[in-house]
Amino acid sequence: MACRNSACSCCGHEHNHEEENRTLVVIRLISGAILFLAALFFKINYLFLISYIILGYDVVINAIKNVRHIFNESFLMTIATFSAFALGEFAEACCVMLFYQIGEFLSDYAQDKAKDSIGSLMDLRSDTANLLTDAHFETVPSEQVNVGDIIRVSAGEKVPLDGVITNGSAYFDTKALTGESVPRLFTKGDEVLSGYVSCDSVIEIKTTKKYDDSTASKILALLSDEKKARSEKFITRFSRIYTPIVVLFAVLIAVLPLFFGGEYKVWLYRAILFLVVSCPCALVVSVPLSFFAGVGCASSKGILVKGAYILEKAAKIKNFAFDKTGTLTDGKFCVRSIDSIVLDGKELLKYCAYCEFYSIHPIANAIKEFYGKRIDESLISDYREFSGMGVSANVDSHKVEVGSADFLKLQKDERGSVYVSIDGVFAGSIKVSDMTKAESKSAVLLLKNLGISSFILTGDTFENAHDVSDELNIPFYASLLPQDKISKINELKKSGITAFAGDGINDAPVLSIADVGVSMGKIGSDAAIESSDVVLTSDNLEKLPVLVKIARKTMRIVYENVILSISVKMAVMLLGALGIATIWLAVFADVGVLILAVINSLRAFLVRD
């Protein structure tokens, strides 16, 4: 059986191997370029030949290996450069291959940024469980626990398998699965999922699923199985149409006139000239360079795009789905409102802050921070904390109780609210939830102006999601587990290219399945970042419309270069076939258009926020 840690080792070796290969390619390009320049300067033809071999041996080998499938860019590059040699244009042949290899290097370098590592997700699962055997608990591998067994989870431990609580109650940190930052109370009879972490109590669970079928294992399986296929390179798709047409016309130019008394050498020369002009150098360089410039522009604005092909997808985004906690909201809890019945709101807040003074619960911390004044501990006595329920204390000779509706024996219970009782009389409630980021509303509006619809997909409750939805005026889906989010993403994908933005471990499978996955780099988990296509280094959602603008401009430039290259080449190829064009015009059609296309490609760097 393979060691689980071997995945990390393999990833490391693979990464080192990629770095070594990239270094060798750079050395190859530099040495080939130096020989090419030396040949130009000293006018030594055999240096051109050596330079060509260094730069283009793999292209020629690929063309020979795929001789049965000749209509690819390798075949066209080979036949075009061989034709240039036949015409005595050694510099042209080397220049074509040099620029081709530079373009391939830039394109491959950008795409190699994408990683499939899921090593950081391994912490989601617990490899061991405390299993009840013969009236005592024994630590065993989680794989040995069967459905119906009783396991124990102590405070601070992860739940190893899905199950139902049979004894005890506790607050659980569920954010690894749901993204919800506030711990949730689970009591006897409630279902808990593998990956949850007990915050404060010891509980016993009757398992309902085996280890490999539990939620945490399924999430890992989703992430590893749902791998994006890389977009096929544009030039490869283009060559399937362009190359056979070019070769067919070249053959017709060389052979057909002979049946009508044409001179063999004249028409062969024109056919070779036709092939030289047809070399798609401008395309094979300008297309990847356009993408590379777009990626560079995005990087300069704090938008890291993992692969040039992602820009092609981003330019066509129709739907943008967002996780809520930590993405649309800042993940930090604060007081939203105070509903006081018998006291002034400030007085109710004061009593609540004093009563919560010794609590370290996130909601208690939010209340104390919102109160913002120094708390006189001498006014607090008889503090008691009731696990999973609330706290009580004597505050300035008044008995104060703060906690859930059940704790205060109230009929109502609004999610995100804590209830306050003073001297046995219900005094009011304080609503606490995470706040929407300042830039979320403007980001959603800017996306709308670009014709993109926005949605909220969250593991948080309906009430909390509804508040954010109302604030941003976009539809929402709440209480979703990762597999539920994936289902929603697949539904949205039916209407067009769909992007998803998230930040937590629980978002990693969704980021992987979305057409374009965007993670928050500053606060996002390693798993989310590794699974995504785009990382926002500043977590500023206003960068999302900028990403779409960059992608759309990049694609416009790509189409401009394609039209420019093809139209000029077609015109010169026609002139060459008619005997009007010379080798110098052929060089312009190739190198001149290349220069124009490269200059145009660099415009992708120029996109305003």
pLDDT, one tens digit per residue, over 512-563 is: 899 999 987 655 455 555 677 888 877 789 999 999 999 999 889 888 888 8
Q: Are residues 335 and 432 in the same domain?
A: yes
Residues 347 and 424 in one domain: yes
165, 193, 223 - which closes a domain: 223
Q: Are residues 11 and 104 in the same domain?
A: yes
pLDDT of residue 31: 94
Q: What is the pLDDT of residues 408-460, one digit of tens each?
A: 888 776 666 899 999 999 999 998 877 888 899 999 999 999 999 999 998 87
Please spell the DSSP secondary structure of 487-508, one letter per residue. Answer: HHHHHHHTTSEEEEEE-SGGGH
| CA angle centred on 457, ends 455 and 459, rounded to 5° | 160
Co-location of 102 and 180 in the same domain? no
For residues 94 and 31, membership in a common domain is answered with: yes
- Spatial separation of the C-alpha atoms in residues 273 and 292, rounded to whole Å: 31
Residue 63 shares a structural domain with residue 78: yes
Task: Establish if 543 belongs to a structural domain.
Answer: no
**Domain final residue pick, 191, 223, 255:** 223
Query: Which domain covers residue 176, as residue numbers?
Result: 125-223
| Domain end position, chosen among 223, 249, 273 | 223
Helix segments in 124-214, DSSP class H: 175-178
User: Does 338 share its domain with 432?
Assistant: yes
- Name the nearest CA neighbour of 186 among 202, 177, 176: 202
Q: What pLDDT is attached to residue 316?
A: 94
Q: Is the pLDDT of residue 6 over 60?
A: no
pLDDT at 109 over 90: no
Whether 488 shows a pLDDT value over 80: the answer reads: yes
- Domain contains 315: no
Segment 373-402 shows an average pLDDT of 91
pLDDT band at residue 4 using 50, 70 and 90 as cut-offs: very low
* Mean per-residue pLDDT of the chain: 80
Are residues 106 and 131 both part of a single domain? no
* Cα 381 → chain centroid: 51
Instruction: Look at residue 227 in the predicted model and tell me its pLDDT.
Output: 38
- Identify the CATH number of the domain in which residue 157 sits: 2.70.150.10
pLDDT digits (tens, 9 = 90+) for 142-189: 999 999 999 999 988 889 998 999 999 888 887 666 556 678 888 999
The percent of residues in the chain predicted with pLDDT above 70, rounded, is 80
Higher pLDDT, 23 or 206: 206
- The long-range contacts involving 400-403, CB below 8 angstroms and separated by at least 24 positions, are 400/351, 400/352, 400/354, 400/355, 401/355, 402/352, 402/355, 402/356
127 is catalytic: no
0.85 exceeded by pTM: no
User: What domain count does the chain have?
Assistant: 3
CA separation, residue 168 to residues 150, 152, 198, 550 (Å) = 13, 10, 11, 54
Residue 582: CB atoms within 10 Å: 12
Q: Is residue 582 in a domain?
A: yes
CATH classification at residue 380: 3.40.1110.10
379 with 242, same domain? no
**Residue 53 belongs to some domain of the structure:** yes
| Residue-wise pLDDT tens digits, 319-366 | 999 998 878 887 777 888 899 988 899 999 999 999 999 988 878 888
Strands 497-502 and 516-520: what pairing? parallel
Residue 178's pLDDT is 59
pLDDT given for residue 458 in this prediction: 87
Element (DSSP H or E) covering residue 523: none
Q: What is the pLDDT of residue 117?
A: 34
Give a yes or no: residue 76 inside a domain: yes
145 occurs within a structural domain: yes
Q: Are residues 237 and 102 in the same domain?
A: yes
559 in a structural domain: yes
Catalytic residue among 323, 467, 503, 539: 323
